[in-house]
Chains A and B, each alone.
Chain A
Amino acid sequence: MKAETKEMAKSKEQDLQKQEVKDEKTVAGRFYQPLTDIVESNNALIVTMDMPGVAKENVNVKVEKNVLEVEGQIDSSPYLDTKPIYTEYNVGHYTRRFTVSSEIDTEKIEASLDDGVLHLTLPKKPEAEPRRISVS
């Protein structure tokens, strides 16, 4: 391997590593990780996240350089005039990141939010789908 290409590969690797590091948030409030299921079908990856308290318009899904980032913000106004007397869970925004493989067609990602559950469908690129070769 040429020194130049080696250098390039290295910087690309560093670039990816940098993305793994969490950005500092400027939005007030605590952020939590939503519980997530990831399943794979023949032609897509399906990501399901629990985000109770998040409305449709407050979800942000973005893909940047193979990093899928999901952010959901809750509305804390119903809690303003209340006094907690017994608590079992923390109230806060949600954020989580995943590195997706390059086999994902980032243009065709679909997202929907129903009853606090975010469904993401990440279709695989056609060439990444397994091809069955018939033996004659």
Chain B
Amino acid sequence: MFGSFSTTLDTLLALQDAMDRSMKSDYYDMNTSGRGVFPTINLFEQEDNLMLVAELPGIQKEDLKLEVKNNLLRLAGERKIEYGKDLSIHRRERRSSNFDRSFKLPFAVESDKIKAEYKNGLLAVTLPRAEADKPRKISIS
């Protein structure tokens, strides 16, 4: 009896906790991403490859550093947003920041076949899975 009472209470508390968390999260915001990390990335699977897309509007290609080692991908750089001193600022939502992020990929990639393209403020990196890392199909006789 007491046990079932406590689970009901636990369930209610868990529900309250979940609601609190959803209020605090920025999932319901009007922006594409939250205010946490920069730059935000999406990782897609495309047949055997991976495609990483990062939101990096208004960045100079020279300011971007992309490195890969085994299954570790590093994306670093700087985004500068500056306004002259003679301008008065009404609203400032865009951020300037230094960033350095590393991603652990689910498999080793063919490092010399990686393609990176920066277009319209999006950085798209195609990461082909290393031949040696691909699963082998074994025929059963």
Residues of A at the B interface (CB closer than 8 Å) are: 32-33, 35-42, 45-46, 48, 50-55, 78-79, 81-92, 114-117
Contacts and interface: CB of A to CB of B under 8 A. Distances in A.
B137 interface: no
Interface of A is mostly: strand
Nearest to B90: A38
Contact of B90 (A39, A52, A82, A92): A39
Contacts of B90: 38-40, 45
A52 B94 contact: no
B57 A116 contact: yes
Contacts of B44: 79, 82-85
A37 B44 CA distance: 31
A92 B33 CA distance: 11
Interface residues of B, number: 40
A89 B40 contact: yes
Contact of B58 (A32, A50, A90, A92): A50
A114 B60 CA distance: 11
Given A55-B120, A84-B42, A42 B58 contact: no
A86 B43 contact: yes
A35 B93 contact: yes
Nearest to A33: B30
B92 interface: yes
Nearest to A45: B90
Contacts of A33: 30-31
Given A38-B90, A53-B55, 13 more contacts: A32-B32, A35-B93, A39-B87, A39-B88, A39-B90, A41-B87, A45-B90, A84-B42, A84-B44, A85-B106, A88-B40, A89-B33, A90-B33
A92 B42 CA distance: 13
Contacts of A89: 32-33, 40-42, 55
A4 to B, nearest CB: 36
Contact of B122 (A37, A52, A82): A52
Contact of B43 (A46, A52, A55, A84): A84
